[in-house]
Structure 1
Amino acid sequence: MQLSRADHRATPPRVTIPRDYNAAHDLLERNASRPAKVAFIDAVSGAQLTYGELAEQSHRFANALRTQGFAPESRVLLAVLDTLEWPVVFLGCILAGVVPVAANTLLTARDFDFMLRDSRAQGLVVSQPLWPAFEGIVAATGSLKTVIVADAQATADDRPTVAALVQAAPAIRKVTETCSDDACFWLYSSGSTGKPKGTVHLHSHLLQTAELYGRGVLVIQENDVVYSAAKLFFAYGLGNALTFPMSVGATTVLLPSRPTPDSVFGILKKFQPTIFYGVPTLYSLLLNDAGRPKKNELKLRVCTSAGEALPAEIGRKWTAEYGCDILDGIGSTEMLHIFLSNRPGHVRYGTTGKAVPGYELRIVGDDGRECGDDEIGELQ
């Protein structure tokens, strides 16, 4: 199966995705020549997963899904914390042609019940600490056939675990035939105007964002170490912590728990990330933390912000404190990542920058006419 290609000499960059294409296969094959390179680090335990181990375990999990009877295009809900098993499960599903549905792990049992029914998931992969939220709802979900427990070596009720399935499954590297325009994974929107809404993304979408924003704006490279405060179940976090670093062979630090000033600064000092992805409220907390480290204790070269507008004052204070710009931008679950952003070395705090090369944007009024300078309208 062919891989995607990108020509960054073209303006905008030209990304070519072949018809017969599997996104997980592409991400893993890009790193086949660096099997000993660390792909992911658990910030709590310090455990590491190399690119070679990631490929083997992802293929083993894909084979386990096939053995469990999951057919291509069937859906599996992922309620998994940001641990080393998250990328294994996500990529393993895609390799098998199964569609992972990434769920916000901070939601309630009622939300999870809705997502299981709405997605008609046949499988559920759930981190053991999150199982209590599902215990009372899985039996009543008609489509659900299999529950797999993540982040556990064994369970009291003998449910299969990710670790056990990976260990027992064959290491054969088989990729289910998929096309670039096949459904690859689901993400749920925040549901600000009602219930969360499932957003279906195609196999071609992941590497498009990696090439256009990850490489085109951040200039992410193999020697980068990244940490994203936004979790992997967010569109923002998925690109930050999985797609972008894997597209070039960089290293990602994962934190299973919610980020706090202590945990974030602990990661920035211990693992020395060069790229940090945050949100405005977190940057404000970090700047007001009495125990914040000095500039020379960190190795940051670029930071990003999304989710809400970054106040100009916070951006300026951060740059003054750490000599590193925050690239404020706009993205969405539907667009998968940031499509409007400031640029390194050309930041104007108080603005969200310019269109990421490869995207076409315009502002229109109520009459559909493109707005002129200083006119307010809707971004399209």
Structure 2
Amino acid sequence: MELRGIGSLYNAAATFIDKNVNNGIGDKVAIHYLNEKITFKQLQDQVNRVGNALRQLGVEMESRVLLACYDSPEFIASFFGAIKIGAIPIPVNTTMTPSDFEYFLNNSRAKVVITNEDLWNKINHLRERFVFLKHVIVIFENANNIPGLISYREWTGNASAQLETAITNHNDAAFWLYSSGSTGNPKGVIHLQRDMEAAYNAYAKKVLKISENDITFSASKLFFAYGMGNGMYFPLGAGASTVLVPDRCTPELVMETIEKYRPTIFFGVPTLYGALIDLAERTGNPYDLSSLRICVSAGESLPAPYSEKWRKLFGVDILDGIGSTEALHIFISNRIGDIREGSTGKVVPGYEAKIVNEMGVALPPNETGDLIIKGDSIAHGYWNLHEENKRKFIGEWLQTGDKYYMDDDGYFWYCGRSDDMMKVGGIWVSPIEIENALIKHEVVLEAAVVGVMTENNLMTPKAYVVLKENVIASDGLKRELQAFLKQELAPYKYPRLIEFLDELPKTTTGKIQRFRLRA
């Protein structure tokens, strides 16, 4: 149907929720959650109840609804319930501080927040500072009736399971995601109704070959762009099933979850894969991961030794790739049957990528420059950041902020974030290359390398190293690591300075915060 002034109607909730019921798989399990199994029809009913309940609160098209929820059926129902009525759900990181939640609520101007009981208890002392907030919907652990708060279960339980879809089109705003804010305040990234289907068609279908027979499990949470695809709209788009875990995914919990629910696709980040490998080697536990047909990594470059050890331990490949909040999901990736370890792989079908110099001119193979991309899932822009939009979104192209080179075979190789690169002796050095070499040493669990200035005002690499359990740090071990690196790297690249740490500073997505190490 097409209406003058609106165009062809499209709503993402119809694509990812209603379509499965219409296709006759309403009785199939959509979500495995703790000891519950939620079918596609039950999920559709709950989506519709949330949409109706939001309308009863006066939520209109384009109104913002903040979601501070753990991974759960309530998260998915609230997300698509808002989208179905044309409102804008905004999932946010549940591990943030009360001050961060104040920022999210005030910056987004959300009039409604849907959140878990313990999260609300952490921030309710700031309620007077939430200048736009009108309604607080709380997912209570037990039956509660607290003045000023609305019980999610009563609120949705009293709403109809029949819901008319809002009049929206492909180019309407559908949801926001806040960037991780590792170098400043988080930015509200505006995604359109079309973006999830674009990412699903490009990566989930063409790279993962996802089907209704798959079960996905993502250690990265739904409020991240990466986790949202992995654990929500990828499986929903395919008529597959997802495993949701509300708790933080420790290595032990990840292994237990895979053994219990038997997923076929697992999504993690490099630091988690390193910890899982360490757990398996340290305990000697022969974890049964035989249900997995493929694993995926993103967020940081996956060190080649991790890929090799994982395959040796569990007999399954890890597909390394790169995505971003602005692009919604992965746009360069290794493929099933086509993995070049240490590389990020090739451009995902549906996207284009170029390596350019500071003037925007495309560089030939094997020259390091700035990675720019274009594709249909790229965000509309940032909320309320005019100057940043002009810098980041250049016509059809997105400036990723990553340094890369492409080899003669079309594989892309990550060199680091643009502000992480260092010039040593007049030559650009990638911290990733040094880190990957360090991880090859048997005592190293994790490593991060940054450039520091010497007393002579010269740049030199410094390595921060986390050792494996029961390995004792010493000056002798520093010298051993330096000697090892001299065999692995060009002489000017090896770090003259090494410092041992108990842990590296990271974002909640698992990305190493090198700027904190530089400081």
TM range (shorter): over 0.9
Shift of 1:98: 1.0
**1:324-361 deviation digits (Å, cap 9, x = unpaired):** 11110010000000001000111111000011000010
State the number of aligned residues. Answer: 363
Shift of 1:165: 1.5
Give the whole-Å Cα distance in 2 for the aligned partners of 1:257 and 1:171: 29
Give the whole-Å Cα distance in 1 for the aligned partners of 2:122 and 2:89: 19
Q: Name the residue aligned to 1:61.
A: 50
Give the whole-Å Cα distance in 2 for the aligned partners of 1:293 and 1:251: 28
**1:151-199 deviation digits (Å, cap 9, x = unpaired):** 5443351421221122100122311111111110000001122100000
Q: 2:167 aligned to 171, 174, 177, which one? A: 177
Q: 2:251 aligned to 261, 264, 282, which one? A: 261
Do residues 368 (structure 1) and 357 (structure 2) align? no
Give the whole-Å Cα distance in 1 for the aligned partners of 2:211 and 2:192: 25
- Please, what TM-score do these two structures have when normalized by structure 2? 0.68
Do residues 93 (structure 1) and 118 (structure 2) align? no
Do residues 319 (structure 1) and 311 (structure 2) align? yes
- Asked if 2 retains the 8 angstrom alpha-carbon contact of 1:295 and 1:323, the reply is no
Q: Name the residue aligned to 1:76.
A: 65
Do residues 302 (structure 1) and 291 (structure 2) align? no
Give the whole-Å Cα distance in 2 for the aligned partners of 1:271 and 1:205: 29
Mark the CA change 1:150 to 1:118 in structure 2 (over 3 Å): closer, same or farther: same
Give the whole-Å Cα distance in 2 for the aligned partners of 1:262 and 1:140: 39
Q: Name the residue aligned to 1:7.
A: none
Q: SS where residue 360 of structure 1 aligns?
A: strand
Further displaced range: 292-301 or 19-28: 292-301
- Asked if 2 retains the 8 angstrom alpha-carbon contact of 1:71 and 1:98, the reply is yes
Do residues 377 (structure 1) and 369 (structure 2) align? yes
Do residues 23 (structure 1) and 23 (structure 2) align? no
* Matched ranges for 1:14-163 at <5 A: 19-32=8-21, 33-42=24-33, 45-158=34-147, 159-163=149-153
Give the whole-Å Cα distance in 2 for the aligned partners of 1:137 and 1:372: 54
Q: SS where residue 110 of structure 1 aligns?
A: helix
Greater RCO structure (CA 8 Å; 6+ sep)? 1
Give the whole-Å Cα distance in 1 for the aligned partners of 2:284 and 2:51: 43
- Pairwise CA RMSD of aligned residues? 1.5
- Asked if 2 retains the 8 angstrom alpha-carbon contact of 1:152 and 1:163, the reply is no
Give the whole-Å Cα distance in 2 for the aligned partners of 1:333 and 1:229: 17
Give the whole-Å Cα distance in 2 for the aligned partners of 1:175 and 1:374: 50
Mark the CA change 1:153 to 1:68 in structure 2 (over 3 Å): closer, same or farther: farther
Which residue type is aligned with residue 240 of structure 1? Answer: N
**1:85-119 deviation digits (Å, cap 9, x = unpaired):** 11011111111111001100010001110010100
Q: Name the residue aligned to 1:249.
A: 239
Further displaced range: 68-77 or 366-375: 366-375
Give the whole-Å Cα distance in 2 for the aligned partners of 1:83 and 1:296: 25
Give the whole-Å Cα distance in 1 for the aligned partners of 2:259 and 2:214: 15
Give the whole-Å Cα distance in 2 for the aligned partners of 1:89 and 1:152: 17
Q: Name the residue aligned to 2:224.
A: 234
Q: SS where residue 150 of structure 2 aligns?
A: coil
**1:208-260 deviation digits (Å, cap 9, x = unpaired):** 11111011100011011110000000000000011100001111011111101
- Asked if 2 retains the 8 angstrom alpha-carbon contact of 1:325 and 1:345, the reply is no
- Asked if 2 retains the 8 angstrom alpha-carbon contact of 1:153 and 1:163, the reply is no
Mark the CA change 1:71 to 1:284 in structure 2 (over 3 Å): closer, same or farther: same
**1:288-324 deviation digits (Å, cap 9, x = unpaired):** 1144753755311010001111000001111111121
Q: SS where residue 137 of structure 2 aligns?
A: strand
Give the whole-Å Cα distance in 2 for the aligned partners of 1:342 and 1:171: 42
- Asked if 2 retains the 8 angstrom alpha-carbon contact of 1:85 and 1:151, the reply is no
- Asked if 1 retains the 8 angstrom alpha-carbon contact of 2:255 and 2:287, the reply is no
Which residue type is aligned with residue 326 of structure 1? Answer: I
Do residues 286 (structure 1) and 276 (structure 2) align? yes
Choose between structure 1 and 2: higher strand proportion. 2
Give the whole-Å Cα distance in 1 for the aligned partners of 2:59 and 2:296: 38
Gaps of 5+ in 1: 3-17
Q: 2:336 aligned to 298, 319, 344, which one? A: 344
**1:23-45 deviation digits (Å, cap 9, x = unpaired):** 01211122111111111111xx3
Give the whole-Å Cα distance in 1 for the aligned partners of 2:90 and 2:109: 10
- Asked if 2 retains the 8 angstrom alpha-carbon contact of 1:153 and 1:164, the reply is no
Give the whole-Å Cα distance in 2 for the aligned partners of 1:72 and 1:232: 23
- Asked if 1 retains the 8 angstrom alpha-carbon contact of 2:102 and 2:126, the reply is yes
- Please, what TM-score do these two structures have when normalized by structure 1? 0.92
Q: Percent identity?
A: 44
Mark the CA change 1:297 to 1:117 in structure 2 (over 3 Å): closer, same or farther: closer
- Asked if 2 retains the 8 angstrom alpha-carbon contact of 1:340 and 1:354, the reply is yes
Look at both structures and tell me which one has the larger radius of gyration over its CA atoms.
Answer: 2
